Structure 1
Amino acid sequence: MQIFVHQQFFCDIPALNQSRTDLSQSLFSKLPDIPVEGSTDNRDCFLNSLALMPGDRLLLADFNNNSVMHVDTTTNKMVSQVKLPGGPWDLCLLPGDRAAVTLPKEKKIQFVSTQGNVTLQKVVKVDGKCHGIYFCDDNLIVSFSFPPKVVLMNMKVKVKKSADKDSSGKPLFLYPEYLTVTRESQTPPVIYVTDWGTSTITKLSISVEVLQTYIDPILRSPRGLAAVGDNQLLLCGRASDNILFLDTFTGEITQLMGKKEGIEGPYSVVYCPLKEMTFVTCIPDNRPEIENFVKVFKVA
């Protein structure tokens, strides 16, 4: 079952970053996991966000060990790790070899340098428990859990627009967590937000107005998501133990990988179109032995 609300028509114009691979029809082969546990870590990892950097590198957030780490995927080894003043949740890359990291318990956004070893830069206070974060057109788009909302802010973390209620005063979100942005040629960017409290994906305009909502029983408790091209998203279904493909034009959600491929409690996903590789972090309940690794798959 699929339910669509707040529908708005968009012309079928190819995206600037369109992937040539139709992942909805793809099969994936398992490659060796990447171990990421640091030598100074005193707890099992909680890898709840990752980003693909230039030069076959990954940037990962580890909530349990209050750290961000930089991993080389060609050698499968950690290059550097930096400790933060709290547990990081989500991260996004910024121009100038930088990244922004949310610290929900501290109600802060931490900026880091990614040039060479990861190092700390400034940290900025915000007005709630910030979770998801994404950079777009010199703005940061941030989701908050308490109170639940999505905010557009400038790089000085000054709020420009916010979305928390619909026209009738009803809350738009229960627990919005991760978000991403797609940009279709000659059209404004579009924001997608996962809400694990309602198991929905919400599509917003860049002015944070609701355009459409996606829901399907095959997706339960969505966490991380990633744009892979024109109107194509990868989704992490944490409670449904799967990686799914969402066609945002048709609303069709299909499963790409599940427990058979070793997917349990997935939290974050990223796709490399040049190497046709997918990187996934999993945080299943009571399975700490698989939390210290990044899972790697290649399109067969």
Structure 2
Amino acid sequence: MSTPRNINVKTSSDENDCWITGITVSPQNQLFVADYNNLSIKMIDTNSGTIKQQQLESNPWDITIMTRDTLAVTIPDIETIQFISFSSNSFSLKHKLKVDGQCHGISHHQGKLAVTFLFPDKLQIIDLKGNIQITVEKDSDGDSIFSDSCYVTTNSHSIYVSESVKNAVIWFNWQGEMIGRYVTTGRPYGISLLDDGSIFVSDNKAECIYRVSGDCKDRTIILENVDGHRAVCWSAETSTLYLSTDSDNTESNNIIKMYKMM
């Protein structure tokens, strides 16, 4: 990885320092972030640093690209998924889905949403009309699978959930069956899939970014001594890894770090 480039995503209208809990990148290489502390979604031009901002009615958590011009955002406190359309320089709020819990992580693939919840802890697969197709809460022994599943990422055949309390990345298929898990001594937060099916994982406790194989058997450390981080997003088009800051120094939380894969 290259030396990181820092992007400051705090705007003049922000009343608080940022807390970027979700990141995604569009096929047109537009960077979007969920700013929990400022109740907003932001679109950042990484070349010019220009920021467009959309205020929301409550604090957003995670964000996913739906189509070339639509985002979906989880808003936990009001148990809602908000759809937002975007162009090159503007946002427009669309419809909302009411869900049955505090939704956090979200990932879209081919007309389905994989959504993780806290209170109650679960994974749901939901269609775009809000119909619940599958709910996953317990394993085959009847034990709860989740305790703090803040993030999820998907491809055509797999769903991966980061579980920061149970210290694992958990692998499911789209039928909701648990296939495997990678257990770590750290605290995995943000996760993002690569084209080869492996997963970048942001481990806040271990202060590193590592890459877990798609079968959850192997791990390679990509970045070490990365203090205070949360959300992560990989852009295959530009071979760039985006990482949000999560530090006791709240001013540093205004920064998104960009790493180019060498």
RMSD in angstroms over aligned alpha carbons? 1.4
Q: Per-residue CA shift, 1:92-130, capped at 9, x if unaligned?
A: 111251111001111111111122312211222111000
Match of 1:102 among 65, 70, 74: 74
Q: Summarize the Cα distance change of 1:227–1:110 in structure 2 as closer, same or farther, 3 Å threshold.
A: same
- Report the residue type matching 1:75 in the other structure: S
Q: Which residue of 2 aligns with 1:282?
A: 245
- In the TM superposition, 1:1-300 aligns within 5 A as 28-78=1-51, 80-116=52-88, 117-183=90-156, 189-217=157-185, 220-249=186-215, 251-259=217-225, 263-284=226-247, 286-300=248-262
Determine which structure has greater relative contact order: mean sequence separation of CA pairs < 8 Å that are 6+ residues apart, divided by chain length.
1
Alignment partners' CA distance in 1, 2:235 and 2:99 = 32
Per-residue deviation at 1:228? 1.1
Q: Per-residue CA shift, 1:45-104, capped at 9, x if unaligned?
A: 0001111113331010000000000001122221x1010011100111112511110011
Q: Secondary structure at the match of 1:161?
A: strand
Moved more, 67-76 or 110-119: 110-119
Alignment partners' CA distance in 2, 1:294 and 1:230 = 25
- Aligned residue pairs total 261
Stretches of structure 2 lacking an aligned partner (at least 5 in a row): none
Per-residue deviation at 1:248? 2.4
The ranges of structure 1 where at least 4 consecutive aligned residues each deviate by more than 3 angstroms after the TM superposition are: none
Q: Per-residue CA shift, 1:196-235, capped at 9, x if unaligned?
A: 1111110001011100011122xx2211111112231100
Q: Per-residue CA shift, 1:138-166, capped at 9, x if unaligned?
A: 11111111111100111011111110012
TM-score, with length taken from structure 2:
0.95
Alignment partners' CA distance in 2, 1:256 and 1:161 = 34
Stretches of structure 1 lacking an aligned partner (at least 5 in a row): 1-27, 184-188
- Report the residue type matching 1:37 in the other structure: K
Alignment partners' CA distance in 2, 1:135 and 1:165 = 23
2:27/2:68 contact within 8 Å kept: no
- Report the residue type matching 2:73 in the other structure: V
Alignment partners' CA distance in 1, 2:216 and 2:193 = 16
